[in-house]
Structure 1
Amino acid sequence: MRQTGSPTVRRRRLASELRRLRDRAQLTLEEVAEQLTWSATKVSRIETCRVGVALKDVGRLLDLYEIDDSKREELIDLARDSRKKGWWQAYSDLSSEYTTYIGLEAESTSMRSFASVVLPGLLQTEDYARAVIRSALLISSPGEIERRVEVRMARQKLLVQEEPLRLWTVLDEAVIRRPIGGGAVMRSQLKRLLDVANLPNITVQVLPFAIGIHPGTNGAFEILEFPGLADPDVVFMENFTGSLYIERETDVYRYTLIFDHLRAKALDPDDSRRLMTKAIAQFD
């Protein structure tokens, strides 16, 4: 059975529901804050999922919005679930941005990913991951780097659980050509990539240099899809200063079209495997 119930997704859904109920009650942030003797900032942070919300605060909001008993019970249960801890929260040194991403990833049923520089974390070997993490955490201790590697490997269980994550990834050819960690690490990584590309829930395509310029030159991104209709798709992007989550329907649709364009331009899975096999020889 697929492991579900990510508290991150529950918090996101709860925040969305509370925002919708306030709109239905035709109250502004300031009006809610005044009636509950809170700050408008507190109400905003709850509705944007920037902070967790106590059960008593959820109850006060539902009283204010005059929610009936059946809906109230549903939302209180949702709030209770949102306060549970995921396995990743045992790693206290992880940033809140990273734990938010892991929580969303843990609940997603499918992911469409474009990688322009390095492989997606879900497909990395330990040695490849260690080289990537070490390059990003220049002043971190060896212990911190190893904990990050451990977390990355734990995330990969999503691909082999009973109801596994469906992953469709398009890799710029630079990803399979760039020497990361040395020749032996790259050979092992590309062999691992060929192995996972044969799994029924994973599709790997390579976007060859020969196609020239393409929409993905703006950077890597992922589109995460969730099982419930109440949890719309999210686009995730990362840069040096933080993470960006795109949730507006029109923007998510735009990234969906970009991904469709990229996979249409990429080599088909069989030709992609042949190119990856040839790339292994580069690192002999």
Structure 2
Amino acid sequence: MSEVRSPTLRRRELAARLRALRLERGLTVDQVAEQLLCSPSKVSRMETGQRGATLRDVRDLCGIYGLTDPAQVEYLMGLVREAKQQAWWQSYDLDYYATYVGLEQAAVTLCYYQSTIVPGLLQTERYARAMHEGSMPSEFTAERAGELIEVRIRRQQVLNREPPLELRVVLDEAVLHRVVGGPDVMTEQLSHFSAIAKQPNVTLQVIPFSAGAHPAMENMFTEPIPTCL
């Protein structure tokens, strides 16, 4: 299986590896910052992925940590380059949500539980539009709403890529009965469920009303499992 690449995931992997190298050498953030001639906050942000490290940063950190294996150094340099690549979702100005989309695009498996609405990866365009029309902040323009709907639909490409995302979805039966956008929209959405559930990489299950109370009734969760961290 080929590995799915994502700048978001590469930045996080780089951050984790830099932190691990520092801890292996028994150095504090302040000690590294003193040798790197920068602030401790810069080192901390590089180790949490909040700030992207430059090639020069990584070169100097390899020197500080005594990392001399050319293959390991080049791997870290490669992570820097990949973390700086422009992904399709980065042009939509998604702010904090961009991190989630980046991790979703890199995931090999995604587990959803929803008690009220259809998960984004399973929504039809008309359902997504109705959702946005019902919940979009008043200050959002029609153009901005269109962009966010486009993002939601483009995210679904993970289900048809090679290799495809393995999607496991559990819905409360209430999701099927909540009429979003009117009967025509819901008919289309339910037909989409029927079609997509036939894909070998999609597992769709429904908790019926007859099940009564259950622990997840008032909750929802999404668990993306990436290629690596």
Kept after mapping to 2: 8 A contact 1:2/1:164: no
Displacement of 1:200 in angstroms is 1.0
The letter of the residue matching 2:164 is: P
* Distance in 2 between residues matched to 1:76 and 1:63, nearest whole Å: 13
Partner residue of 2:207? 207
Relative to structure 1, is the Cα distance of residues 2 and 156 closer, same or farther in structure 2, using a 3 angstrom cutoff?
A: farther
- The alignment partner of 2:38 has SS state of coil
Partner residue of 2:27? 27
Partner residue of 1:104? 103
Partner residue of 2:136? 137
Displacement of 1:77 in angstroms is 1.2
The letter of the residue matching 1:45 is: R
Displacement of 1:162 in angstroms is 3.3
Partner residue of 1:65? 65
TM-score normalised by length of structure 1: 0.75
* Distance in 2 between residues matched to 1:116 and 1:134, nearest whole Å: 20
Partner residue of 1:166? 166
- The alignment partner of 1:170 has SS state of strand
Relative to structure 1, is the Cα distance of residues 33 and 134 closer, same or farther in structure 2, using a 3 angstrom cutoff?
A: farther
Displacement of 1:24 in angstroms is 0.5
Kept after mapping to 2: 8 A contact 1:30/1:40: yes
For the aligned residue pairs, the C-alpha RMSD in angstroms reads: 1.7
2:45 is aligned with 1:45:
yes
| Percent of aligned pairs with the same amino acid | 42
* Distance in 1 between residues matched to 2:204 and 2:184, nearest whole Å: 22
Relative to structure 1, is the Cα distance of residues 196 and 55 closer, same or farther in structure 2, using a 3 angstrom cutoff?
A: same
Partner residue of 1:80? 81
* Distance in 2 between residues matched to 1:205 and 1:40, nearest whole Å: 48
- The alignment partner of 2:217 has SS state of helix
Displacement of 1:166 in angstroms is 0.8
Displacement of 1:105 in angstroms is 1.1
Displacement of 1:215 in angstroms is 2.6
The letter of the residue matching 1:103 is: G
The letter of the residue matching 1:89 is: Q
Q: Where in structure 1 are there 5+ consecutive unaligned residues? A: 232-284
Partner residue of 1:246? none
Q: Where in structure 2 are there 5+ consecutive unaligned residues? A: none
- The alignment partner of 1:4 has SS state of coil
* Distance in 1 between residues matched to 2:55 and 2:39, nearest whole Å: 18
Partner residue of 1:154? 154
TM-score normalised by length of structure 2: 0.93
* Distance in 1 between residues matched to 2:110 and 2:86, nearest whole Å: 23
Alpha-carbon displacement from aligned partner over 1:215-259 (angstroms, at most 9, x marks no partner):
32352111212234xx2xxxxxxxxxxxxxxxxxxxxxxxxxxxx
How many residues get paired? 227
Question: Which is bigger in relative contact order (C-alpha 8 A, separation at least 6)?
Answer: 2
- The alignment partner of 1:119 has SS state of coil
The letter of the residue matching 1:130 is: R
Displacement of 1:214 in angstroms is 2.3
Displacement of 1:202 in angstroms is 0.6
- The alignment partner of 1:185 has SS state of helix
Displacement of 1:182 in angstroms is 1.6
The letter of the residue matching 2:115 is: S
Kept after mapping to 2: 8 A contact 1:116/1:220: yes
* Distance in 2 between residues matched to 1:145 and 1:84, nearest whole Å: 26
- The alignment partner of 2:27 has SS state of coil
Partner residue of 1:175? 175
The letter of the residue matching 1:216 is: A
